[in-house]
Structure 1
Amino acid sequence: MSCTCPLNTPQDDSKSCQTTDHTGAMDTWQMLLAAILVLPFVWLVVFHGRGDGKSGGRPGRLPPGPPYVPVLGSTVWLTNSLGEVEPLLQRLIARYGPVVSLRIGSRLAIFVADRLLAHKALVERGAALADRPSLASVKLIGENDNLISRASYGPVWRLLRRNLVAETLHPSRLRMFAPARAWVRRVLVENLREPGGEAAQPVAVVETFQYAMFCLLVLMCFGERLDEAAVRAIATAQRNSLLYGSSKLNVFAFFPAVTKHLFRGRLQKVHALRRRLNELFMPLINARREYKKLAGEPRKETTFEHSYVDTLLDIKLPDDGNRALTDDEMVNLCSEFLNAGTDTTSTALQWIMAELVKNPSVQSKLYEEIKAKAGDDQPEASEEDVHDMPYLKAVILEGLRKHPPGHFVLPHKASEDMEIGGYLIPKGATVNFMVAEMGRDEKEWDKPMEFMPERFLAGGDGEGVDVTGSREIRMMPFGVGRRICAGLGVAMLHLEYFVANIVREFEWKEVAGDEVDFAEKREFTVVMAKPLRAHLVPRRT
């Protein structure tokens, strides 16, 4: 299979997601409607308090935050967008402290930026925050919550997560996909190679990273090495659905009984995007059904012995009549699997390689370690080799500390009244943890905005850091506690393996006049606003 074309860029995806519902105009009308509705209720603010935490020092008060209007939520939404919530929260934290609250519609959302408070909440009181808030948009499009990322803390979630961890992400299962990773490594190196060396045009790497990671996750999910056209069709449909959902469905957090009519075009668009995923996924799922029936029969060279879909076909939901998963539920779980492992890994790869381009001495030190472990006579730096590369691990950890792909973990929901930092967190409140703020906290890290992998080696301020956060939280790129990312192990494996091999193959150089820019932009993950371009000089002939 030849994999030479990059994925669609985000700009292409946004064009393909345009609808005829005039969403920009509708957003304006929503703001006007909110402003009109605010006026009769403004006087209520006096009785409900400013929410700024200045009403006294008694315990049990809600965390501070900006004024709000009942039903409509915090008044900051009249001048700020949900999509740009992080700069707003940084201003609020500077004013009020590390625990602040916002009203998003009628829902109370708490944001925590302190690592010690995060540990008390997620580890010491983990059971009370193991649930997920329901999303109005899920109900409006007629889906259920039978996904690992959004299922309530209960038997369905335990079953789905245990299935993923034990049957697909367990080290014994991951070893079965070693040939797939080696194949994707070859694809990645081939697509990064510049004809003509330094005289050639610099490589725009993010599309190449996205495509390579997507090839690998599609194979792990469906157990089939698909041709390029099939992979690209799935990638386009998946990315269109992901970007549209993450950017266009936030409006349903406000007054869903009204916005479902104002923005019905968005719901229709989501249904169309989901139908497209069904069209692409169901033939692959049905092919695995047939494969399982023919156990022991010879298989095609492109067919793998095991896949995530195989495990989904075996699941029975005991609390729902011991039924099997529906086709729609399997499509959604496959989509979740692809989302969780593609953009996060490709985003982390881009940030790490950008830092290595900008810090050639770090790249040189890393290359010397790789070269010492994987000699020129070997076709690759093997997975066994990378396990014994401490500086490589330090580079990966430093990349995840400074540039976590997600600046927030997925929201938690309080299942009972609890206390964080002296404030009352009432039952049902949504609690969010600010990952980037903790990893960049200058009170905890020496020169946090500098890229210094040595901090994770002996004597550094990150020596022995526990990325799971069970002992203490210094950084939490994968979340912490009972809802920690199930793919932590495979993510670290993929990052170490692919970084080692592309540094082994190429010297990564900055492009004169097109220097690395570390400005951020929020998509599904937090990506480079100006995607990385670099000259790649082959190290091996």
Structure 2
Amino acid sequence: MAFLFFLLALPVILFILLQTNRPKKPSNLPPGPPGLPIIGNLLQIDNSSVHRSLAQLSQNHGPLMFLQLGFVPSIVISSSKLAKEVMKTQDLAFCSRPTLTGQQRLSYNGLDLVFSPYDSYYTEMRKICMVHLFHPTRVQTFRPIREYEVSQMIHKITSKIGSTPDKPVNLSEAMMYLTSTIISRVGFGKRYEEEGIERSRFQSLLNESQAMFTNFFIGDYFPYMGFVDKLNGSTARLEKNFREFDDFYQEVIDERLDPKRGKTPEQEEDILDVLLQVMNAPSSKVQLTFNHVKSLLMNVFLAGTDTGAATVVWAMSFLMKNPETMKKIQQEVRSSIEATKGFVNEDDLHQLSFLKAVVKETFRLQPTVPLLVPRQTTEKTRLDGYDIPAKTLVQINTWAIGRDPEVWESPEEFKPDRFLDNSSSTSTVDIFGQSFELTPFGAGRRICPGLHMGLVTVELALANLVYKFDWEMPVGMKKEDVDMEVIPGITMHKRNHLCLVAKRPII
């Protein structure tokens, strides 16, 4: 009887607790849609396409929009002017991270770089990463790995043409294997077989982690209600993924520390080697532990694998829907690279200006991270005349900014030439955090440290795909059949794999 009374009274008790602890709203908040009691605007966001639903709401309420997500105040930025204010002018006030359940657990409670809150620890960790992991000299040492793996992908596609000429190539799978292989070799010196058990394990861990990073946890938005995540299985699912990935990291580390492990003189240092050296360096201001090493490996794996693969697949999708643009990029690459050379290497990329424009246009129309990793305000501040409370969740909608008709002419069209036309105001837009009309890697203190390594992989893979093959739709399909639907996640992949027929070009 007492237990039944408790169950009946629980909603009332929770309501009182939540109302008692609900912070008072400032009176000068940015405009936004009205919300429901307690839950606020949560039901107005389509979780299957968050960036699109936020863009639609912003069309009615403005490029600076306030949302109440449960008990979490949130703003959404949908213009380049405000993005510049957030990521440059007031970067210090907007550069921390929220403590979201999935991100915190998988990052070992923020020991990593991507999800760590902004403080002296973050500053020191970023310095370690920029000096030891992502310095241009270090990125250059991984060039042979990138070129070898891209050449292997091209060789596999070529061999399939010989055996089954009209059988489609699954480019989505090919690119995921390429980028995950590059990252596993760069990260810890291993190359998994495409159909092997270890490769399958590695990929399934990555997929589940992506899901956990964006999973909705009740406790993130409603204080005192984290127990619901335990009841519905979300906590157990997250813990399972964490433990499995932790075991994976530990196996890699144990193998590296095994005194019986042999290493040939020609083997290059990988990221794990460097992290273990820093870990044992007495001069480091942050004393790294194995958990620090694991958290940074997580950043490298998840960011390096998904974003590069998705970008090339989106680029090829746009090119297939725009045959004239495909012809133009192939003409540039093939006229710049002698047919007898047989491969586009990294030295060749600097002369491929149209290819670089295609990559930029892909980032504009379909950024792989359409909502940059959420930020959080470090203090109370003002933005565009409105009061922004401390600890406000900040979403920067790069997808909406890339389609802003006030900035981009014909924003819905795939037109790479816009970046090459000197008469266009967008011809000088870059993707390295200085042009806030296009920030696929973020900007300011939170700009992606691995952007150069990721970008060169994308350009190298795309250049060789259009150089070595002519691409056709599978029998019975037209260019209009290339769908552009997405799978929800931090990184936006195509919902359906891109499968195309590769043909040897007539040059």
Scaled by the length of structure 2, what TM-score is found? 0.87
What is the rounded CA distance, in whole Å, between the counterparts of 1:433 and 1:507 in structure 2? 37
Tell me, which stretches of 5 or more residues in structure 1 are unaligned?
1-32, 52-59
Structure 2 partner of 1:222: 188
- How many Å apart are 1:272 and its aligned residue? 2.0
Pair 1:385–1:322, CA change in 2 (3 A) = closer
Q: Is residue 63 of structure 1 aligned with residue 33 of structure 2? A: no
Q: Which residue of 2 is the match for residue 457 of structure 1?
A: 420
Match of 1:116 in 2: 81
Summarize deviations over 1:217-275 as a string: whole Å, max 9, x none: 011110233444233322222222322x1353433323253233453532222222222
Could you tell me which of 227, 230, 235 is aligned with 1:267? 235
Deviation at 1:188, TM superposition (A): 1.6
Instruction: Return the alpha-carbon distance in structure 2 between the equivalents of residues 40 and 427 of structure 1.
Output: 22
1:126 corresponds to = 91
* 1:251 has 2:215 as partner: no
- Partner residue of 1:172? 137
Matched-pair contact (CA < 8 Å) for 2:381–2:388: yes
C-alpha deviations, 1:20-66, integer Å up to 9, x for none? xxxxxxxxxxxxx9899779999x99x978x9xxxxxxxx7111223
| Equivalent in the alignment of 1:283 | 251
Match of 1:105 among 70, 91, 94: 70
Q: After the TM superposition, which of the residue ranges 305-314 and 334-343 deviates more from structure 2?
A: 305-314
Partner of 1:56: none
- Structure 1 residue 347: Cα displacement: 0.7
CA distances 1:115-158 after superposition (whole Å, capped 9, x unpaired) = 11111221111111121122245667894211111112223222
Question: Contact 2:51–2:371 (CA<8 Å) still a contact in 1?
Answer: no
Q: Partners of 2:506 and 2:253 in 1: how far apart? A: 41
2:149 maps to amino acid: V
**Counterpart in 1 of 2:203?**
235
Counterpart Cα distance in 2 of 1:417 and 1:80: 26
Preserved contact between residue 230 and residue 236 of structure 2 (Cα < 8 Å): no
Query: Aligned-pair distance for 1:91?
Result: 3.2
Q: What is the aligned counterpart of 1:491 among 451, 454, 476?
A: 454
CA apart distance, 1:198 = 8.2
Q: Matched residue pairs, number?
A: 489
Does residue 333 of structure 2 align to residue 367 of structure 1? no
Q: Does the CA-based 8 Å contact 1:416-1:426 persist in structure 2?
A: yes
Question: Is the CA contact 2:65–2:77 (under 8 Å) kept in the aligned structure 1?
Answer: yes
Map residues 239-388 of structure 1 onto 2, 5 A cutoff: 239-243=207-211, 245-264=212-231, 265-290=233-258, 299=264, 304-315=267-278, 324-388=287-351
Secondary structure of 2:133 counterpart: helix
Alignment deviations for residues 1-25 of structure 1 (CA, whole Å, 9 cap, x no partner): xxxxxxxxxxxxxxxxxxxxxxxxx
Q: 1:236 to 1:139 in 2, by over 3 A?
A: closer
Q: Secondary structure at the match of 1:133?
A: coil
| Partner deviation per Cα, 1:184-223 (whole Å, 9 max, x = no partner) | 1123213434335885222221111111100000111102
SS of match in other structure, 1:207: helix
> Structure 1, residues 490-516: CA drift from partner, whole Å, max 9, x if none?
122111111111111111223332621
2:175–2:312: 8 Å Cα contact kept in structure 1? Answer: yes
SS at match of 1:419: strand
Q: Distance in 1 between matches of 2:325 and 2:484?
A: 17
- 8 Å Cα contact 1:192/1:205 also seen in 2: no
Match of 1:57 in 2: none
When the two structures are superposed, what TM-score results if normalisation uses the length of structure 1? 0.82
**Which gives a bigger RCO, structure 1 or 2 (Cα 8 Å, sep 6+)?**
2
The change in CA–CA distance for 1:257 and 1:187 in structure 2 (over 3 A counts) is: farther
Structure-2 change in CA distance of 1:283 and 1:66 (3 Å): same
1:203–1:534 Cα contact (<8 Å) kept: yes
Which segment is superposed worse, 441-450 or 221-230?
Answer: 221-230
Query: Secondary structure of 1:103's partner?
Result: strand
Query: How far, CA to CA, are the matches of 1:241 and 1:141 in structure 2?
Result: 8
Instruction: State the shift of 1:340 in Å.
Output: 0.5
Identity of aligned residues (%): 25
Whole-Å Cα distance in 2 between the matches of residues 111 and 377 of structure 1?
51
CA distance in 1, matches of 2:392, 2:298: 28
In the alignment, is the contact (CA less than 8 A) between 1:99 and 1:113 conserved in 2?
Answer: yes
Paired residue for 1:157, among 114, 122, 129?
A: 122
What pairs up with 1:430-441 in 2 under 5 angstroms? Answer: 430-441=393-404
Verify the 8 A CA contact 2:218 2:225 in the aligned structure 1: no
Kept in 2, the 8 Å contact 1:505–1:540? The answer is no
Distance apart, 1:337 and its partner CA: 0.8
The aligned residue for residue 4 of structure 2 is none
Displacement after TM superposition at 1:82 (Å): 4.6
Give the distance between the partners of 2:127 and 2:133, measured in 1 at CA. 10
1:363 offset after TM fit, Å?
A: 1.5
Q: Distance in 2 between matches of 1:355 and 1:36?
A: 54
Cα pair 2:330 2:467 within 8 Å, conserved: yes
**Quick check: 1:502 aligned with 2:465?**
yes
The CA RMSD measured in Å over matched residues stands at 3.3
- In 2: Cα distance, 1:323 partner to 1:171 partner: 23
